[in-house]
């Protein structure tokens, strides 16, 4: 194997100008700590590294590698001087999927009314190869009908949609997540586009109320980024830690997602689910890795939802995760354009050490939505039916309800309209219909919960 690698590079030198392409390069470039001592692969890897280093003087020979398992590659293979550019070939977006369908349908007998836009919309996360397979299977479906009827049957929209329903994308959500993390860690390309807000993501206007939190996030990310000279002149250190506490369903997670999207910041999360998935690493190592990724990808928001699960009071629990988190928090204060945001609906369960300034400089209470905020939530969720609704009456009737409670009421009201339409009944929505659902619901926020938040505010206060 080592000899074969040397021969390939020797041929490349002789045939220059030349492109050497290594498909599935992870098979010979896997992390060396993943092999046993008697495995031949690490020796092959060493030969390849030597050959890549020896190619520096050959400007007319290019080495290209391709892999769908980038997380298995040895870091030594990816440093500049060996692979100078690392480019993420993402899944096709809607426009690309539409174009791919047109290319593969061009040579097939087909109906003229095929809606390529709809096909693109219902094939999210499908790769180019997946789309080719859809077209092939749809043509086979048409061919079977042609054999049975003994006439030519064009590939129709029905053939395509029927095939799509039976097939799943070859790339899993877990793989996409792995690729995004690898891209954030390693991608090097001179023509990389500037990160732009995602039109499908959460925007500021989607968040009802919470203007104070929005202002704190803007100051923490935008001002240090755009006005660093002014902050240095005034000797102001930016806030690096923000703790949001309050009842569940009141917008803590939503406003953080909106901030990450609107401020063009990278959004990294630490959750119990992720820690459970990281079987090959300790939970503390996963926390450290996430903070390192934030350092290298600023501006970034590191979001820890349900932070009390990772930082519980040490009088009741001891573990390496809390220790690692405290160490990283102390390191975060030296970073530029990185903010840690924790969210909890059980603030009294947190370890007191994590609450001091320098770790969480800002502590903000997220209360249940007030009347204007509830009215905005009704407006957002019932935007198609506003002409016949008394929003003031609805917001007054839902005092004490969380944002999630109000959104749930709206979903139930709209679901009733769906049931009525299927039964052939009128689908007009009136205030009385919504009030009927409201009267059957109770707020998910209890008085006991609110007392707990009041006690926490009395003990620690708010830092805005």
Per the DSSP assignment, residues forming a β-bridge with 342 are 243, 304
Mean pLDDT, the chain, integer: 83
At 405, is the secondary structure helix, strand, or coil? helix
Mean pLDDT of the region 6-31: 86
pTM of the model: 0.68
Name the DSSP letter for residue 423.
Answer: T
At 156, is the secondary structure helix, strand, or coil? coil
Alpha helices in 304-444 (DSSP H): 320-332, 371-381, 391-397, 403-422, 431-439
Q: How confident is the model at residue 92 (pLDDT cuts 50, 70, 90)?
A: very high
SS (H, E, C) 91-125: CCCHHHHHHHHHHHHCCCCECCCCCHHHHHHCCCC
Between residues 204 and 442, the one the model is more confident about: 442
**What structural domains and CATH numbers belong to the chain?**
2-78 (3.40.50.300), 94-166 (1.10.8.60), 204-367 (3.40.50.300), 371-439 (1.10.8.60)
Q: How confident is the model at residue 252 (pLDDT cuts 50, 70, 90)?
A: confident
**Max mean pLDDT range (21-35, 40-54, 330-344, 366-380):** 366-380
Six-digit token string for 340: 């840690």
| 181 phi/psi in degrees, rounded to 5 | -65, -40
Q: Which helix (H) or strand (E) holds 231?
A: helix 228-233
Tell me the chain's radius of gyration from C-alpha atoms: 28
Between residues 194 and 37, the one the model is more confident about: 37
CA distance linking residue 3 with residue 44, whole number of Å: 9
pLDDT value of position 177:
83
Between residues 53 and 134, the one the model is more confident about: 134
CA distance linking residue 245 with residue 364, whole number of Å: 6
pLDDT value of position 268:
83
Q: How confident is the model at residue 194 (pLDDT cuts 50, 70, 90)?
A: very low
Between residues 433 and 210, the one the model is more confident about: 433
């Amino acid at each position: 194997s080592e000899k074969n690698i040397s021969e390939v590079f020797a041929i490349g030198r002789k045939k220059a100008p030349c492109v050497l392409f290594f498909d599935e390069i992870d098979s010979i470039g896997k992390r060396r700590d993943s092999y046993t001592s008697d495995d031949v692969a690490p020796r092959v890897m060493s030969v390849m590294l030597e050959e890549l280093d020896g190619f520096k003087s050959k400007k007319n020979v290019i080495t290209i590698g391709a892999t769908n398992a980038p997380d298995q590659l040895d870091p030594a293979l990816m440093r500049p001087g060996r692979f100078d550019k690392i480019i993420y070939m993402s899944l096709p977006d809607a426009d690309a999927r539409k174009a791919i369908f047109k290319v593969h349908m061009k040579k097939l007998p087909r109906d003229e009314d095929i809606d390529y836009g709809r096909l693109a919309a219902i094939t999210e996360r499908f790769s180019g190869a997946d789309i080719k397979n859809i077209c092939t299977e749809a043509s086979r479906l048409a061919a079977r009908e042609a054999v049975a009827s003994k006439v030519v049957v064009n590939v129709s929209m029905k053939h395509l949609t029927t095939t799509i329903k039976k097939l799943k994308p070859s790339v899993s959500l877990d793989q996409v997540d792995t690729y995004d993390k690898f891209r954030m860690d390693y991608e090097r390309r001179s023509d990389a586009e500037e990160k732009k807000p995602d039109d499908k993501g959460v925007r500021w206007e989607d968040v009802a109320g919470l203007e104070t939190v929005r202002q704190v996030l803007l100051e923490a990310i935008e001002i240090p980024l755009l006005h660093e000279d002014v902050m240095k002149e005034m000797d102001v250190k930016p806030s690096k830690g923000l703790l949001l506490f309050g009842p569940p369903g009141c917008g803590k997670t939503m406003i953080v997602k909106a901030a990450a999207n609107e401020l063009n910041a990278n959004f990294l999360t630490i959750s119990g689910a992720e820690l459970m998935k990281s079987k090959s690493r300790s939970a503390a190592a996963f926390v450290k890795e996430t903070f390192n990724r934030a350092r290298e990808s600023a501006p970034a928001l590191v979001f820890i939802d349900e932070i009390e699960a990772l930082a519980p009071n040490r009088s009741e629990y001891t573990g390496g995760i809390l220790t690692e988190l405290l160490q990283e928090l102390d390191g975060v204060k030296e970073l530029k354009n990185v903010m840690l945001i924790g969210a909890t609906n059980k603030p009294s369960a947190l370890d007191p050490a994590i609450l001091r300034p320098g770790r969480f400089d800002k502590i903000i209470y997220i209360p249940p939505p007030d009347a204007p905020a509830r009215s905005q939530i009704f407006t957002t969720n019932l935007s198609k039916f506003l002409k016949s609704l008394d929003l003031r009456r609805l917001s007054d009737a839902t005092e004490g309800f969380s944002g999630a409670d109000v959104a749930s009421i709206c979903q139930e009201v709209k679901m009733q309209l769906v049931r009525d339409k299927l039964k052939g009944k009128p689908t007009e929505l009136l205030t009385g219909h919504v009030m009927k659902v409201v009267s059957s619901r109770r707020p998910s926020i209890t008085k006991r919960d609110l007392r707990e938040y009041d006690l926490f505010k009395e003990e620690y206060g708010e830092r805005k």
